[in-house]
Structure 1
Amino acid sequence: MKKLFLIVGLLGLSPIFAQTTDIELTPNNSWLKAGLTTGVPVGDVSDVSNFNVGLDVRGQYLFNPNIAVGIASGYNHYFGKDEFDDFGVVPAAGFFRYYFTPDGLFLGTDIGYGFLTNNDNSGGGLYINPQIGYHNRDWNFYAFYQNTLAENDVDLQNVGLGISYNIRFK
Protein backbone atom coordinates (compact mmCIF):
# COMPACT_ATOMS: atom_id res chain seq x y z
CA MET A 1 0.00 0.00 0.00
CA LYS A 2 2.87 2.39 0.80
CA LYS A 3 4.41 1.82 -2.61
CA LEU A 4 1.07 2.46 -4.30
CA PHE A 5 0.68 5.86 -2.58
CA LEU A 6 4.27 6.79 -3.42
CA ILE A 7 3.90 5.85 -7.10
CA VAL A 8 0.55 7.66 -7.45
CA GLY A 9 1.99 10.74 -5.75
CA LEU A 10 5.09 10.85 -7.92
CA LEU A 11 3.14 10.28 -11.12
CA GLY A 12 0.59 12.91 -10.15
CA LEU A 13 3.26 15.54 -9.43
CA SER A 14 5.58 14.71 -12.34
CA PRO A 15 3.67 16.77 -14.95
CA ILE A 16 3.84 19.81 -12.66
CA PHE A 17 7.60 19.54 -12.20
CA ALA A 18 8.20 18.62 -15.84
CA GLN A 19 6.59 21.88 -16.92
CA THR A 20 8.82 23.96 -14.62
CA THR A 21 12.17 22.93 -16.12
CA ASP A 22 12.40 26.08 -18.29
CA ILE A 23 11.36 28.46 -15.53
CA GLU A 24 13.83 30.70 -13.72
CA LEU A 25 13.55 30.71 -9.91
CA THR A 26 13.60 34.22 -8.44
CA PRO A 27 12.80 35.78 -5.03
CA ASN A 28 9.47 36.84 -6.55
CA ASN A 29 8.31 33.35 -7.51
CA SER A 30 10.01 30.87 -5.16
CA TRP A 31 10.90 30.72 -1.50
CA LEU A 32 11.07 28.57 1.61
CA LYS A 33 8.42 28.68 4.29
CA ALA A 34 9.33 27.78 7.88
CA GLY A 35 6.84 27.74 10.69
CA LEU A 36 5.17 26.29 13.74
CA THR A 37 1.83 24.55 14.24
CA THR A 38 -0.24 23.61 17.25
CA GLY A 39 -3.29 21.40 17.33
CA VAL A 40 -5.81 19.32 19.19
CA PRO A 41 -6.19 15.63 18.29
CA VAL A 42 -9.70 14.58 17.21
CA GLY A 43 -11.26 11.19 16.60
CA ASP A 44 -9.72 8.03 18.06
CA VAL A 45 -6.30 9.63 18.58
CA SER A 46 -7.86 11.97 21.20
CA ASP A 47 -8.05 8.92 23.48
CA VAL A 48 -4.24 8.70 23.63
CA SER A 49 -3.15 12.34 23.09
CA ASN A 50 -4.62 15.72 23.99
CA PHE A 51 -2.18 18.14 22.33
CA ASN A 52 0.30 18.33 19.47
CA VAL A 53 2.90 20.80 18.19
CA GLY A 54 4.82 20.78 14.97
CA LEU A 55 7.43 22.26 12.68
CA ASP A 56 6.46 23.07 9.11
CA VAL A 57 8.98 23.45 6.25
CA ARG A 58 8.00 24.06 2.63
CA GLY A 59 9.57 24.92 -0.69
CA GLN A 60 7.12 26.88 -2.84
CA TYR A 61 7.02 27.85 -6.49
CA LEU A 62 4.47 30.47 -7.59
CA PHE A 63 3.26 29.80 -11.17
CA ASN A 64 1.39 33.09 -11.30
CA PRO A 65 0.07 35.48 -8.60
CA ASN A 66 -2.65 32.97 -7.67
CA ILE A 67 -1.33 29.39 -8.01
CA ALA A 68 1.54 27.81 -6.09
CA VAL A 69 2.90 24.26 -5.80
CA GLY A 70 5.73 22.81 -3.79
CA ILE A 71 6.99 20.22 -1.36
CA ALA A 72 6.21 20.06 2.35
CA SER A 73 7.70 18.29 5.34
CA GLY A 74 8.30 18.86 9.02
CA TYR A 75 7.40 17.05 12.22
CA ASN A 76 4.18 16.81 14.24
CA HIS A 77 4.65 15.69 17.85
CA TYR A 78 1.68 14.22 19.74
CA PHE A 79 1.98 14.29 23.53
CA GLY A 80 0.71 11.00 25.02
CA LYS A 81 -1.91 10.93 27.76
CA ASP A 82 -1.42 9.05 31.02
CA GLU A 83 0.30 5.71 30.26
CA PHE A 84 0.63 6.36 26.51
CA ASP A 85 3.97 7.33 24.98
CA ASP A 86 4.52 10.39 22.80
CA PHE A 87 4.53 9.75 19.05
CA GLY A 88 4.80 11.75 15.85
CA VAL A 89 4.28 12.13 12.12
CA VAL A 90 6.91 13.18 9.57
CA PRO A 91 5.12 14.18 6.37
CA ALA A 92 6.63 13.96 2.89
CA ALA A 93 4.10 15.71 0.68
CA GLY A 94 3.43 17.85 -2.31
CA PHE A 95 1.21 20.87 -1.87
CA PHE A 96 -1.04 23.18 -3.83
CA ARG A 97 -2.20 26.66 -2.82
CA TYR A 98 -4.60 29.11 -4.38
CA TYR A 99 -4.09 32.76 -3.41
CA PHE A 100 -7.15 34.90 -4.11
CA THR A 101 -5.19 38.19 -3.93
CA PRO A 102 -1.53 39.19 -3.38
CA ASP A 103 -2.37 39.80 0.32
CA GLY A 104 -5.35 38.01 1.80
CA LEU A 105 -7.19 34.72 1.78
CA PHE A 106 -5.69 31.44 0.55
CA LEU A 107 -6.82 27.82 0.29
CA GLY A 108 -4.46 24.90 0.03
CA THR A 109 -3.80 21.27 0.71
CA ASP A 110 -0.87 18.92 1.26
CA ILE A 111 -1.07 15.36 -0.04
CA GLY A 112 1.60 12.75 0.52
CA TYR A 113 2.85 10.12 2.94
CA GLY A 114 3.08 10.49 6.71
CA PHE A 115 5.81 8.43 8.41
CA LEU A 116 4.87 7.56 12.01
CA THR A 117 7.46 7.71 14.78
CA ASN A 118 7.38 5.73 18.05
CA ASN A 119 4.44 3.63 16.83
CA ASP A 120 4.77 -0.14 16.58
CA ASN A 121 1.34 -0.65 14.95
CA SER A 122 2.04 1.19 11.70
CA GLY A 123 4.85 2.70 9.65
CA GLY A 124 2.63 5.39 8.17
CA GLY A 125 0.14 6.10 5.43
CA LEU A 126 -1.71 8.65 3.33
CA TYR A 127 -1.23 12.19 4.65
CA ILE A 128 -3.76 14.94 3.89
CA ASN A 129 -3.62 18.50 5.26
CA PRO A 130 -6.19 21.01 3.91
CA GLN A 131 -5.70 24.64 5.01
CA ILE A 132 -7.42 28.01 4.91
CA GLY A 133 -5.60 31.15 5.89
CA TYR A 134 -4.36 34.68 5.46
CA HIS A 135 -1.05 35.62 3.83
CA ASN A 136 1.05 38.64 2.98
CA ARG A 137 4.51 38.97 1.47
CA ASP A 138 6.28 37.63 4.57
CA TRP A 139 3.79 35.70 6.73
CA ASN A 140 1.13 32.99 6.51
CA PHE A 141 -1.48 32.43 9.25
CA TYR A 142 -3.76 29.44 8.77
CA ALA A 143 -6.16 26.90 10.22
CA PHE A 144 -5.84 23.26 9.20
CA TYR A 145 -7.27 19.78 9.48
CA GLN A 146 -4.59 17.11 9.31
CA ASN A 147 -5.20 13.40 8.79
CA THR A 148 -2.76 10.50 8.43
CA LEU A 149 -4.58 7.35 7.33
CA ALA A 150 -2.01 4.75 8.34
CA GLU A 151 -1.87 0.97 8.15
CA ASN A 152 -3.65 -1.29 10.67
CA ASP A 153 -6.53 1.18 11.16
CA VAL A 154 -4.31 3.85 12.72
CA ASP A 155 -6.01 7.17 11.95
CA LEU A 156 -4.28 10.31 13.28
CA GLN A 157 -6.42 13.43 12.98
CA ASN A 158 -6.01 16.89 14.45
CA VAL A 159 -7.23 20.42 13.91
CA GLY A 160 -5.10 23.43 14.63
CA LEU A 161 -3.45 26.71 13.78
CA GLY A 162 -0.17 27.45 12.05
CA ILE A 163 2.11 30.33 11.26
CA SER A 164 4.99 30.40 8.78
CA TYR A 165 7.54 32.92 7.58
CA ASN A 166 8.60 33.25 3.93
CA ILE A 167 12.38 33.03 3.47
CA ARG A 168 13.18 34.51 0.05
CA PHE A 169 16.01 33.29 -2.16
CA LYS A 170 18.50 36.01 -3.08
Structure 2
Amino acid sequence: MKLKKHFLMAAILLITGVSHAQQVNENTNYDQGFRLGFGLNAGAVTGDYFNFALGGDARLQYDLSQKTSLTLTTGYTHLFGKDEVKDLGYIPAKAGFKAFVWGDRFYVLGEAGAGFAVTNNYNETTFLWSPGIGYANSFIDLSLRYEGMNNFNADQIAFRVAYGFKL
Protein backbone atom coordinates (compact mmCIF):
# COMPACT_ATOMS: atom_id res chain seq x y z
CA MET A 1 0.00 0.00 0.00
CA LYS A 2 2.83 2.40 0.88
CA LEU A 3 4.45 1.70 -2.48
CA LYS A 4 1.22 2.67 -4.29
CA LYS A 5 1.01 5.93 -2.30
CA HIS A 6 4.60 6.84 -3.13
CA PHE A 7 4.06 5.97 -6.78
CA LEU A 8 0.86 8.06 -6.87
CA MET A 9 2.61 11.02 -5.17
CA ALA A 10 5.53 10.83 -7.61
CA ALA A 11 3.11 10.74 -10.58
CA ILE A 12 1.21 13.78 -9.29
CA LEU A 13 4.43 15.72 -8.75
CA LEU A 14 5.69 14.76 -12.21
CA ILE A 15 2.44 15.80 -13.90
CA THR A 16 2.34 19.07 -11.95
CA GLY A 17 5.96 19.82 -12.86
CA VAL A 18 5.43 19.04 -16.55
CA SER A 19 2.29 21.17 -16.78
CA HIS A 20 4.06 24.04 -15.01
CA ALA A 21 7.06 23.75 -17.37
CA GLN A 22 4.76 23.87 -20.39
CA GLN A 23 3.09 27.03 -19.11
CA VAL A 24 6.45 28.72 -18.59
CA ASN A 25 7.60 27.78 -22.11
CA GLU A 26 4.38 29.09 -23.66
CA ASN A 27 4.74 32.42 -21.86
CA THR A 28 8.39 32.92 -22.83
CA ASN A 29 8.13 31.64 -26.41
CA TYR A 30 9.98 34.02 -28.76
CA ASP A 31 8.16 35.25 -31.84
CA GLN A 32 10.50 33.98 -34.57
CA GLY A 33 10.57 35.94 -37.78
CA PHE A 34 12.49 37.70 -40.52
CA ARG A 35 14.31 41.03 -40.48
CA LEU A 36 15.71 42.96 -43.43
CA GLY A 37 18.56 45.46 -43.21
CA PHE A 38 20.23 47.82 -45.66
CA GLY A 39 23.77 48.92 -44.89
CA LEU A 40 26.63 51.11 -46.05
CA ASN A 41 30.21 49.85 -45.65
CA ALA A 42 33.57 51.61 -45.66
CA GLY A 43 36.85 49.87 -45.06
CA ALA A 44 40.60 49.83 -45.10
CA VAL A 45 42.07 47.27 -47.50
CA THR A 46 45.16 45.27 -46.65
CA GLY A 47 47.72 44.33 -49.30
CA ASP A 48 49.58 46.19 -52.01
CA TYR A 49 46.93 46.61 -54.71
CA PHE A 50 43.98 48.56 -53.28
CA ASN A 51 43.57 51.69 -51.13
CA PHE A 52 40.11 51.42 -49.58
CA ALA A 53 36.67 49.88 -50.05
CA LEU A 54 33.13 51.28 -50.23
CA GLY A 55 29.95 49.30 -50.59
CA GLY A 56 26.34 48.69 -49.81
CA ASP A 57 24.50 45.56 -48.78
CA ALA A 58 21.18 43.96 -47.98
CA ARG A 59 20.96 41.41 -45.17
CA LEU A 60 18.06 39.04 -44.60
CA GLN A 61 18.01 37.68 -41.06
CA TYR A 62 15.90 34.88 -39.60
CA ASP A 63 15.70 34.97 -35.81
CA LEU A 64 15.94 31.49 -34.35
CA SER A 65 15.62 32.86 -30.81
CA GLN A 66 16.13 36.13 -28.97
CA LYS A 67 19.89 35.47 -28.98
CA THR A 68 20.59 33.69 -32.31
CA SER A 69 19.89 34.32 -35.99
CA LEU A 70 20.77 33.02 -39.44
CA THR A 71 21.79 35.58 -42.07
CA LEU A 72 22.02 35.93 -45.86
CA THR A 73 23.95 38.96 -47.14
CA THR A 74 24.53 40.34 -50.64
CA GLY A 75 25.29 43.73 -52.15
CA TYR A 76 28.16 45.43 -53.94
CA THR A 77 31.67 46.37 -52.77
CA HIS A 78 34.14 48.51 -54.71
CA LEU A 79 37.88 48.26 -54.04
CA PHE A 80 39.77 51.35 -55.25
CA GLY A 81 43.10 50.45 -56.87
CA LYS A 82 46.52 51.87 -56.01
CA ASP A 83 48.69 53.50 -58.67
CA GLU A 84 48.11 51.70 -62.01
CA VAL A 85 45.97 48.88 -60.56
CA LYS A 86 42.42 48.92 -61.88
CA ASP A 87 39.53 49.12 -59.43
CA LEU A 88 37.72 45.92 -58.53
CA GLY A 89 34.00 45.68 -57.89
CA TYR A 90 32.45 42.48 -56.59
CA ILE A 91 29.13 41.10 -55.44
CA PRO A 92 29.29 39.13 -52.18
CA ALA A 93 26.90 36.28 -51.46
CA LYS A 94 27.31 35.10 -47.86
CA ALA A 95 25.44 33.02 -45.30
CA GLY A 96 26.11 33.32 -41.61
CA PHE A 97 25.24 32.96 -37.95
CA LYS A 98 24.68 35.85 -35.51
CA ALA A 99 24.68 35.45 -31.72
CA PHE A 100 24.01 38.10 -29.09
CA VAL A 101 26.60 37.63 -26.39
CA TRP A 102 26.24 40.64 -24.12
CA GLY A 103 22.64 41.46 -23.27
CA ASP A 104 20.38 41.85 -26.24
CA ARG A 105 22.42 44.53 -28.05
CA PHE A 106 26.01 43.34 -28.63
CA TYR A 107 26.67 40.44 -31.00
CA VAL A 108 29.25 38.39 -32.84
CA LEU A 109 28.69 37.36 -36.44
CA GLY A 110 30.39 34.88 -38.72
CA GLU A 111 29.67 34.67 -42.45
CA ALA A 112 31.13 32.72 -45.37
CA GLY A 113 30.35 32.65 -49.08
CA ALA A 114 31.61 33.83 -52.46
CA GLY A 115 32.62 37.13 -54.04
CA PHE A 116 31.91 37.52 -57.76
CA ALA A 117 34.10 40.09 -59.58
CA VAL A 118 32.05 42.29 -61.92
CA THR A 119 34.36 45.11 -63.11
CA ASN A 120 37.43 45.76 -65.28
CA ASN A 121 37.82 42.28 -66.75
CA TYR A 122 38.49 40.63 -63.41
CA ASN A 123 37.16 37.15 -64.05
CA GLU A 124 37.69 35.82 -60.55
CA THR A 125 35.37 34.38 -57.97
CA THR A 126 36.75 34.17 -54.48
CA PHE A 127 35.90 32.51 -51.21
CA LEU A 128 34.82 35.12 -48.63
CA TRP A 129 34.84 34.71 -44.88
CA SER A 130 34.04 37.49 -42.45
CA PRO A 131 33.91 37.42 -38.66
CA GLY A 132 32.60 40.56 -36.98
CA ILE A 133 31.27 42.24 -33.87
CA GLY A 134 28.42 44.70 -33.60
CA TYR A 135 25.70 46.59 -31.78
CA ALA A 136 22.05 46.46 -32.81
CA ASN A 137 18.73 47.77 -31.55
CA SER A 138 15.28 47.64 -33.17
CA PHE A 139 16.35 49.70 -36.18
CA ILE A 140 20.09 50.55 -36.18
CA ASP A 141 22.95 48.07 -36.66
CA LEU A 142 26.60 49.16 -36.28
CA SER A 143 29.34 46.61 -36.86
CA LEU A 144 33.03 46.11 -37.50
CA ARG A 145 34.18 43.12 -39.53
CA TYR A 146 37.19 41.57 -41.17
CA GLU A 147 36.55 40.20 -44.65
CA GLY A 148 39.04 37.74 -46.08
CA MET A 149 39.11 37.44 -49.88
CA ASN A 150 41.33 34.57 -51.01
CA ASN A 151 41.66 35.26 -54.76
CA PHE A 152 41.53 39.09 -54.85
CA ASN A 153 44.94 39.57 -53.15
CA ALA A 154 43.28 41.84 -50.60
CA ASP A 155 41.36 41.69 -47.34
CA GLN A 156 39.45 44.45 -45.64
CA ILE A 157 38.48 45.74 -42.23
CA ALA A 158 35.12 47.43 -42.72
CA PHE A 159 32.68 49.47 -40.65
CA ARG A 160 28.97 48.96 -41.43
CA VAL A 161 26.05 51.28 -40.62
CA ALA A 162 22.64 49.77 -41.36
CA TYR A 163 18.93 50.34 -40.95
CA GLY A 164 16.86 47.22 -40.28
CA PHE A 165 13.23 46.30 -39.65
CA LYS A 166 10.95 43.31 -39.10
CA LEU A 167 9.18 41.85 -42.12
Task: Report the TM-score range of the alignment, normalised by the length of the smaller protein.
Answer: 0.7 to 0.9
Match of 2:35 in 1: 31
Give SS of 1:100's match: strand
Distance 2:115 2:49 in 1: 19
Distance 2:32 2:138 in 1: 10
Q: Give the TM-score normalised by the residue count of structure 1.
A: 0.74
Match of 2:62 in 1: 61
Match of 1:163 in 2: 161
Runs of 4+ in 1 over 4 A off after TM superposition: 119-122
1:1-170 map, 5 Å: 29-43=33-47, 47-100=48-101, 103-118=104-119, 120=121, 122-150=123-151, 154-169=152-167
Query: Offset of 1:127 from its aligned partner?
Result: 0.8
Query: Offset of 1:119 from its aligned partner?
Result: 5.4
Q: Give the TM-score normalised by the residue count of structure 2.
A: 0.75
Deviations 1:102-144 (A, max 9, x none): 6421000111111122254642121111110111111111111
Structure 2 residue ranges without an equivalent (≥5): 1-30
> Cα gap change, 1:104/1:144 in structure 2, threshold over 3 Å: closer, same or farther?
same
Give SS of 1:82's match: coil
Code of the aligned partner of 2:160:
G
Question: Contact 1:65–1:102 (CA<8 Å) still a contact in 2?
Answer: no
Code of the aligned partner of 1:40:
A
Match of 1:23 in 2: none
Give SS of 1:64's match: coil
Question: Contact 1:66–1:101 (CA<8 Å) still a contact in 2?
Answer: no
Identity of aligned residues (%): 28
Distance 2:141 2:32 in 1: 16
Query: Offset of 1:28 from its aligned partner?
Result: 6.1
